[in-house]
A and B are shown apart, each in its own frame.
Chain A
Amino acid sequence: MTDFSQVDSILNKYTNVSESLIPLFQDIQGLFGYLPQEILRYVADKASLPLAQLAGVATFYSQFCFTPPGKYEILVCLGTACHVNNGESMASIIAAETGLAEKEVSADGLFSWQRVACLGCCSLAPVMMINGQVYGNLTHKKISAIIRQLRKESAGGVKI
């Protein structure tokens, strides 16, 4: 059962919901990891806004997702500096190592990956970020090792 009380307390923070949709969605995604459809419906009802308005805003911005991401969400940088330093190959390597297409979540819920533009660490290109941690100067070997390590940690129940 979805717990709407936390959503209520988020909603209470905003006097003008229509104008505050973006920070509101950021709060909701912070809580659930994504924007669940039933929550969007709930917010639309509560604030008397058309669901289409909420969906229109949420789908415009790349931050918002509508399905739960993997436990380890890999963001591969494809900004200019990373592109020039072979970033696209790093994306192929991650696809091969995880066996996943972009934005697909593995059956065990462990991994998902997507391309992003510039993580602001261009001097360490090529770069990826996993749950807030940046890894720079990537190579095939380094990526394999990191993914293997995450698999191991997750199997051993160790939190990173």
Chain B
Amino acid sequence: MRLLLGFGSCGLAAGALTVSESMQKVLADTNLQLTLVGCNGMCFAEPLLQVIDDAGENYYYGNLNEDIASNIAKALLAGQIPQQNLLMQDANDFLAPQTRVALAHCGLIDPENIEEYLWVGGYTALKKAVLMNLEEIIAEVKLSGLRGRGGAGFPTWLKWQNTRLAPGKEKFLICNADEGDPGAFMDRSLLESDPHSVIEGMVIAARAIGATQGIIYVRREYPLAVKRIGKAILQAKNKGFLGDNICGSDFNFNLRLVQGAGAFICGEETALIASLSGKRGMPTFKPPYPSERGYHDLPTNINNVETFANIAWIINNGGLSFGDLSNDENSGTKVFALTGKIKRGGLVEVPLGTTFSKVIYEIGGGLKNGKEAKAIQIGGPSGGCLPGKLLSTLKINYEELASVGAIMGSGGLVVMDDSTCMVDIARFFMAFNKDESCGRCTPCRIGMVRLEELLTEICQGQGKEEYIPFLETLGKHVKSTSLCGLGNSAPNPLLTTMRYFPEEYAAHIKEKRCPALKCQALLDYSIDEEKCTGCGQCFKVCSAGAISGMRKQAYHIDSSLCIKCGMCQSSCLFDAVKISSKGVAM
């Protein structure tokens, strides 16, 4: 029997450490052992224990605390399958429709122990690859149809071939683990849960392009991923999968880890290279592409974490099988970080060509409170907001997403309901992109400042009708004239919300009303006298002196004094503060 406890960042944040301690106490000196694994994607149920009995049956126990976990451990020791906190339905509905390639071992093996990776067939692809010639490896990746999973979807084989054929005395390999999309955590989870699969993919890539040195560039907010990948590199070196004479061949490859310092733009490949060279992370004009002139001016191949995590599978199973995984012209699978107002949020891997409604309603279980999805946001600050009505027909496909104004992106998928304001979301992403602009080119540096100002005015009820055509024109200018991918895609959230939700812009501008009750300047606060217990909490937190009343009697808000900070509402324990957005009469 195997007992697997989720020990990724999300599990630990939810309390997996105390859960593990209480279980270890019970299991000490018994024949049952607890294995600390990464994340199997069921973040909605953390802390999470998976039990695999000797017949291979799976049992999932979610939302554990110390006491429950200790009881479960005792019952398991006694040979029972406890029913408490057993999540069979949720786990089955969530996991069964998925196809796992990149996530195949996540949550099933101890990421800090290379033996476990070897036990599930790890590094067999590398052993195979060192016997293949370089063209054969690239040909196999070409057959697979794999495209970059970092956002743009460039054919992986072609990038490898370009780097291999580019003149240069040495070649360099970089894994982009900067994962800048705020609201996405696919790469973090992969590095925390199965670091060796990324390393194996990298070593195979290095062999194919003829690189002798590589770097994994990790985001600084990911301390656990840094620790695990660091450990994995040492273990792989000791086993001869990294370093000199890999797997007994004449092929040498050394890998090191570099931490970013907090800049979204450093996910862009030329900015990443600038940052590795100790400079400000400013992108440069392409061409030359990194495959021609990159790190230290050497031909450099950059791929995303998930792209590398697919490579060993492709070498083991053949490129054609990878194409067969999907029923679509786009081959293989894609991992998404499913978040927002979703019931079962977490990491999901599905074949390309799957519809969004399958991901959201079948795998994700629909929205919290059973609401309909108003919109999804895909691709983060470079992506778009798509309306709920598209979800049943829209497929996860690079070209289809581009045709509706969004991008595949790296895998951020945020589900929104009627409490999310689309104008506010456009403003939120514009503010993010403006802050993260490196300032090198004028359209991006100044255009986004203006766009954010206008959106802020609209959210504050000061927008004018002529802003709408202006936003669209300026947005398109920034998109077409910026130097790098940040500016080229930053207006996408704005343009898609304008395209699919024009009525929300109209409500803010013409009626000074926020239908989602989100834009605080457009809200009216009042107290529900039935619910108010007269505890005085709102009176205490109101810094504007707008609340009056007597203890034990209903309090009252003077709207002429109210500064709409929302503190009364968030501090009320009885849900007695009501908000509405009446707007102004037209």
Shortest C-beta distance, B539 to chain A (Å), equals 14
- Of the listed stretches B67-75, B106-114, B241-249, B271-279, name the one at the interface; the rest are far from the partner chain: B271-279
CB of A62 within 8 Å of the partner chain: yes
CB distance from B117 to the nearest CB of A (A): 22
**A31 near B: Cβ within 8 Å?**
no
Q: Which residues of B contact A63 (CB under 8 A)?
A: 220, 260-262
Q: What is the bound-complex CA distance between A122 and B13, given in angstroms?
A: 11
Q: When the two chains form their complex, are residues B278 and A19 in contact, meaning their CB atoms are under 8 A apart?
A: yes
Cα A21 to Cα B9 with chains together (Å) = 29
Query: Which of B260, B279, B412, B432 has the most chain A CB within a 10 Å cutoff?
Result: B279
Question: Which of B310-318, B340-348, B472-480, B527-535 contacts the other chain?
Answer: B340-348
B262 and A123 within 8 A (CB) = no
| B332 within 8 Å of A (CB atoms) | no
Out of A57, A116, A117, A123, name the residue touching B339 (CB < 8 Å).
A123
Q: How far is the CA of A85 from the CA of B570 in the complex (A)?
A: 13
Supposing A118-B182, A140-B571 touch, asked if A134 and B275 sit within 8 A by C-beta, the answer is: no
Stretch at the interface among A3-11, A22-30, A101-109: A22-30
Which residue of A has the minimal Cβ distance to B261?
A61
When C-beta atoms are compared, the residue in chain B nearest to A79 turns out to be B182
A81 touches B262 (CB 8 A): no
Complex CA–CA separation, A96 to B428 (angstroms): 22
Question: What is the CA–CA distance of A26 and B275 in the complex, to the nearest angstrom?
Answer: 13
| Partner pick for A116 among B10, B44, B221, B380, CB 8 A cutoff | B221
Contact of B573 with A123 in the complex, beta carbons under 8 Å: no
- Asked if B222 CB lies within 8 Å of chain A CBs, one says yes
Taking the closest CB of chain B, its distance from the CB of A44, in whole angstroms, is 13
Whether B464 sits at the interface, judged by CB under 8 Å, is no
B339 adjacent to A122 (CB under 8 Å): yes
Q: Establish whether residues A118 and B279, one from each chain, have CB atoms under 8 Å apart when the complex forms.
A: no
**Chain B 211-235 interface residues, beta-carbon cutoff 8 Å to A:** 220-223
- A85 surroundings in chain B (CB, below 8 A): 340-341
User: What's the minimum C-beta distance from B180 to chain A, rounded to whole angstroms?
Assistant: 8
B46 at the interface (CB under 8 A from A): yes
Cβ contact of B9, chosen from A83, A121, A125, cutoff 8 A: A121
B12 in contact (CB, < 8 A):
yes
Mask: chain B, 304-333; 1 = CB below 8 Å from A; 0 = not: 000000000000000000000000000000
A139 to B567: give the CA distance in the assembly, Å.
11
Q: Which A residues touch B259, using CB under 8 A?
A: 23, 26
Interface size class of B (residues with CB under 8 A): 35 or more
A36 is an interface residue with CB less than 8 A from chain B: no
- Annotate B107-134 by CB proximity to A: 1 below 8 A, 0 otherwise: 0000000000000000000000000000
In the complex, are the beta carbons of B9 and A134 less than 8 A apart? yes
Q: Does A84 contact B (CB under 8 A)?
A: yes
- B182 / chain A contacts, CB cutoff of 8 Å: 78-80, 117-118
Contact with A along B14-56 (1 / 0, CB 8 A): 1000000000000000000000000000011010000000000
Q: Is A32 an interface residue (CB 8 A)?
A: no
Chain A residues whose C-beta falls within 8 Å of the C-beta of B262 in the assembled complex: 61-63
A68 within 8 Å of B (CB atoms) = no
Q: Within the assembled complex, what's the spacing in Å between the Cα atoms of A81 and B262?
A: 19
Query: When chains A and B are docked, how far (Å) is the Cα of A120 from the Cα of B339?
Result: 11
Contact A122 B183 (CB under 8 A): yes
Bound complex: CA A127 to CA B9 (Å):
13
Question: Which of A22, A64, A84, A118 makes the CB contact (< 8 A) with B185?
Answer: A118
Partner of B263, one of A18, A60, A79: A60
- Least CB distance from B571 to A in Å reads 5
Q: Are B221 and A84 in contact (CB under 8 A)?
A: no
Whether A21 lies near B278 (C-beta < 8 A) is yes
The digit string for A120-133, where 1 denotes a CB below 8 A from any CB of B, is: 11111101000010
Contact B280 A56 (CB under 8 A): yes
List the B residue with the shortest CB-CB distance to A132.
B223
Q: How far is the CA of A26 from the CA of B278 in the complex (A)?
A: 12
Contact surface of B with A, Cβ cutoff 8 Å? 9-10, 12-14, 43-44, 46, 181-185, 188, 220-223, 258-264, 275, 277-281, 337, 339-341, 345-346, 377, 380, 412, 414, 416, 420, 425, 428-429, 432, 438, 541, 543, 565-567, 570-571, 573
A-side interface residues toward B, CB under 8 Å? Answer: 16, 18-23, 25-26, 56-57, 60-64, 78-85, 89, 92-93, 96, 116-125, 127, 132, 134-136, 139-141
Could you name 19 residue pairs across A and B whose Cβ atoms are closer than 8 Å? A22-B261, A22-B275, A23-B259, A61-B263, A62-B262, A78-B182, A80-B414, A81-B339, A84-B341, A84-B414, A117-B264, A120-B10, A120-B221, A121-B185, A122-B183, A123-B43, A123-B44, A123-B46, A127-B13
9 closest Cβ pairs, A-B complex: A80-B183, A79-B182, A61-B261, A134-B13, A123-B43, A117-B182, A62-B262, A118-B182, A81-B339
> 4 more A-B contacts (CB under 8 A) besides A121-B10, A122-B183?
A92-B566, A92-B567, A122-B184, A124-B46
